[in-house]
Structures are given as C-alpha cells and as structure tokens.
C-alpha cells in the first residue's frame, strides 16, 4: 500500500510493526514519535522508520494510518490528544495495547467525530522492552486480535489487515470485553503469578542466601516474564482490574484445593492434578504461536568446560543457521549440562541438529 504511516511509541512493539510495514509496503512513508527521542533516533538508525516526528500533532497531520504503541494508560492520553488534532478524515487509527475495553471506551471522542478507531493487540512479545529488542519476525504465526465494533470499523479492519500483512500474524476479531477476559486469563494473570513467585523467593532468601543461587531451570522458566517492564504491567493490571480480581479469587480456591490434597496426602488426586495439567499443556498448539509463543528448542548435552558454547555456536554460524535464544538449563561441576538453543523454524532446528551431530559427539534431542 502507498501512504503515510505514523507510529507513536517506538519501543519493542512499535519498532517491530514499523519493520513489518516497511517490508510489506516499501513505497509507504513511515514516521515515528517517542517521548524518549533516543528511541525514535535508534528506530531511524535501524531503518525501521523514514522520519522522526517532533510531536504527535505533526506526525498525525498527514497520516493514513496511525498506530499507538505506548503503555496502555499513555495510550488513553494519546487518544485524547489525537481527538484535538487536525487529521485526515479517512485515517485509520489503531493501537497495540494489551487491554481493549478501557481503550475502546476512551476512543469514543474520536469515534464521535467520525474517525475509525480499531483496537488491536498482537499476541506476541517479550520480557524485553525498547527499540533494540524489535524484530520483524516477532508476530509470525501469532494471533493478532482486532476489536472493530461497528460495520464501518469492520470495513476499515480489512484495510488495516492489509497494512499489517508483513506481520504474518493470524487476525482474529473479538469484542473488547471478550478480549480482556481471555487476555486476562492467559497473559495478564500469569504475569501476576510469575511476579508473586519471585517475591516469595526474595523474601525467603532473606533468611537463606543459598536459595537464589539454587533457583535454576524450573524457577527460571516460570518466572521469565517477571523481568518485563514494571510500568507496562502496572498499567495493564489497572485497566483490567475487575477480570484480574475475579481470577485471583479463583486462583485462591485452586491453591486451597492443592493444600487440602497435600494435607490429606491424597496420592491419587495429586497424580490426577498433575496429569490433567500435563495433558492440557501438552495439547496446546506448538507449531503456531498462540498465546504461548512457539519455540523450536534443541537440547544438547554438553560437558561443563569453558568454550563449549562458543564451540557449538561456531559450528552453527559456519552453516549460517541463526539462533534466536541460547541458555543453559542445568550445570553441575564435571557433570553434563543441557544447552537449550531456540530457532525460528523447525527446519533450522533440523539443520542445527544434523550439524551438531556431524561436528561433535554431544547427544541432541527435542520433544
């Protein structure tokens, strides 16, 4: 498509969308604004945007598409500001916020003036923030929720999907209320639990300094998202307060149930508790990014000696196989550790396994 795209908030999501739009629509002009000007400068340096806008008013004036990609409570303020700006009658306005009900309510002044606002939420991300973490592949195969509310917005949603074609995401239309309930359950609530586990560990470690040093695989897996932006999560929780309080009450009952099973040493029910959870978790889609991003992980049993990781990444680099993440799951002195390497595609993982098998004697595996 040809036209002017204006992105407000040049962080992880704004930057990644800018890269996707530039790839799919090379003739479009993409400009960006960020309250932290350095973010916009970096976005320009990385080639994510063509121009930096000095103000929202300036960037919005000639835009055909405006994407707001700031924390959700800032998004509310930006919507108010946009409703006072001179903007094209035909402009499509969208956002990327993790909550939709409150944002859609706050877009009312713009909608009353006849502008198309379509709430949006790409359901993929990271615990990392800022433009330096942005990547074109972030939304590949992920669900991208849109919340058009009337027939005019549903029509504009078709143009919006075309603008966002380069995300290679799977678009899904929901009401803002349904969105907030679902996202509350599978995204917002797990972030509270992750942070609460870290809090519990922190307070226990006050009386035992060995505790944080022992926190390995399982703890790291379940608490990764506790490293996300605190301001972003504060705002999400405040926007989705009612749903989250309801989920916290349910969780309390769930924990009571486990406590009872433990108290009575109920072996059968405890096995059933974990079996049911395993069955449901194992049945979640792995090939596509759902609420849970797809990982194409390869596990390599490695001896614990200096240089072993660079040895393996060196072999992969020679074959030009790109890695998205690498971590050690477990290391104990003189015992084998497990190196988990993540790839973007199943094909990359297969190539990597063949390469490691050809160059080393380290056992490899994946689920």
Ligand X SMILES: O=C(O)C(=O)C[C@]1(C(=O)O)C=C[C@@H](O)C=C1
Ligand Y SMILES: NC(=O)c1ccc[n+]([C@@H]2O[C@H](COP(=O)([O-])OP(=O)(O)OC[C@H]3O[C@@H](n4cnc5c(N)ncnc54)[C@H](O)[C@@H]3O)[C@@H](O)[C@H]2O)c1
Give me the residues that bind ligand X (CB under 6 A), please. Answer: 98, 123-127, 187, 225, 228, 291, 293
Q: Does 59 bind ligand Y (CB under 6 A)?
A: no
Q: Give me the least distance between CB of 167 and ligand X, in Å please.
A: 13
Task: Choose the binding region for ligand Y from 22-30, 123-131, 214-222, 316-324 (rule: CB under 6 A).
Answer: 123-131
- CA 359 vs CA 47, 315, 327, 328, 363: distances in Å: 37, 7, 20, 20, 11
Q: Give me the least distance between CB of 231 and ligand X, in Å please.
A: 13
Q: Give me the least distance between CB of 138 and ligand X, in Å please.
A: 10
Q: Give me the least distance between CB of 16 and ligand X, in Å please.
A: 12
Residues numbered 83 to 102 that lie near ligand Y (CB under 6 A) are 96-98
As a three-state string, the secondary structure of the chain is: CCCEEEEECCCHHHHHHHHHHHHHCCCCEEEEECCCHHHHHHHHHCCCCCEECCCHHHHHHCCCEEEECCCHHHHHHHHHHHCCCCCCCCCEEEECCCCCHHHHHHCHHHHHCCCEEEEEEECCCCCCCCHHHCCCCCCCCCEEEEECCCHHHHHHHHHHHHHCHHHCCEEEECCHHHHHHHHHHHHHHHHHHHHHHHHHHHHHHCCCCHHHHHCCHHHHHHHHHHHCCHHHHHHHHHHCHHHHHHHHHHHHHHHHHHHHHHHCCCHHHHHHHHHHHHHHHHCCCCCCCCCCCCCEEEEEEECCCCCHHHHHHHHHHHCCCCCCEEEEEEEECCEEEEEEEEECCHHHHHHHHHHHHHHCCCCEECC
Q: Which is nearer to ligand X, 20 or 63 (CB)?
A: 20
- Interface residue with ligand Y among 3, 9, 59, 184 (CB under 6 A) is 9
Q: Does 294 bind ligand Y (CB under 6 A)?
A: no
Q: Which is nearer to ligand X, 92 or 124 (CB)?
A: 124
Q: Quick one: tokens of 202?
A: 């922190």
Q: Give me the least distance between CB of 286 and ligand X, in Å please.
A: 15
The binder of 78, among ligand Y, ligand X, none, by C-beta within 5 to 8 A per type, is: ligand Y
Q: Give me the least distance between CB of 240 and ligand Y, in Å please.
A: 11
Q: Give me the least distance between CB of 291 and ligand X, in Å please.
A: 6
Q: Which is nearer to ligand X, 1 or 292 (CB)?
A: 292
| Whether 8 contacts 67, CB under 8 Å | yes
Encoded one letter per residue, x for contact with ligand Y by CB under 6 A and - for no contact, window 230-259 reads --x---x-----------------------
Q: Which is nearer to ligand Y, 232 or 341 (CB)?
A: 232
Q: Does 31 bind ligand Y (CB under 6 A)?
A: no
Task: Choose the binding region for ligand Y from 19-27, 75-83, 212-220, 286-294 (rule: CB under 6 A).
Answer: 75-83
The binder of 13, among ligand X, ligand Y, none, by C-beta within 5 to 8 A per type, is: ligand Y
Q: Does 36 bind ligand Y (CB under 6 A)?
A: yes
Contact residues for ligand Y, defined by CB under 6 A: 8-14, 33-36, 39, 69-72, 74-75, 77-78, 96-98, 121-122, 125-126, 129-130, 229, 232, 236
């Amino acid at each position: 498509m040809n036209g002017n795209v204006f992105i407000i908030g040049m962080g992880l999501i704004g930057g990644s969308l800018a890269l996707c739009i530039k790839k799919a629509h090379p003739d479009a002009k993409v400009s960006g604004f960020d309250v932290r000007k350095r973010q916009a400068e970096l976005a320009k340096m990385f080639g994510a945007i063509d121009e930096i806008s000095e103000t929202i008013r300036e960037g919005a004036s000639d835009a055909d598409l405006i994407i707001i990609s700031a924390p959700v409570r800032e998004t509310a303020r930006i919507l108010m500001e946009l409703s006072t700006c001179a903007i094209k009658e035909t402009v499509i306005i969208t956002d990327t916020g993790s909550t939709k009900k409150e944002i859609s309510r706050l877009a009312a002044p713009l909608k009353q003036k006849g502008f198309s606002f379509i709430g949006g939420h790409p359901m993929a991300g990271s615990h990392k923030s800022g433009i330096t973490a942005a990547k074109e592949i972030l939304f590949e195969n992920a669900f991208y929720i849109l919340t058009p509310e009337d027939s005019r917005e549903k029509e504009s949603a078709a143009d919006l999907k075309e603008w966002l074609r380069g995300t290679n995401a799977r678009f899904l239309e929901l009401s803002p209320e349904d969105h907030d309930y679902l996202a509350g359950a599978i995204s917002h609530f797990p972030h509270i639990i992750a942070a609460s586990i870290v809090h519990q560990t922190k307070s226990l470690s006050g009386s035992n300094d060995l505790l944080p040093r022992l926190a390995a695989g399982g703890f790291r897996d379940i608490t990764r998202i506790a490293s996300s932006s605190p301001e972003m999560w504060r705002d999400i929780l405040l926007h989705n307060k009612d749903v989250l309080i309801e989920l916290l009450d349910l969780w309390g009952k769930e924990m009571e149930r486990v406590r009872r099973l433990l108290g009575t040493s109920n072996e059968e029910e405890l096995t059933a508790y974990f079996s049911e959870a395993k069955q449901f978790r194992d049945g979640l889609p792995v090939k596509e990014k759902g609420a849970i991003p797809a990982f194409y992980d390869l596990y390599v049993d490695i001896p614990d000696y200096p240089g072993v990781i660079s040895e393996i990444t060196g072999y992969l680099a020679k074959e030009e196989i790109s890695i998205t993440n690498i971590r050690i799951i477990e290391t104990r002195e003189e015992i084998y550790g497990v190196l988990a390497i993540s790839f973007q595609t199943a094909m990359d993982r297969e190539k990597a396994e063949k390469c490691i098998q050809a160059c080393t004697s380290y056992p490899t595996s994946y689920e």
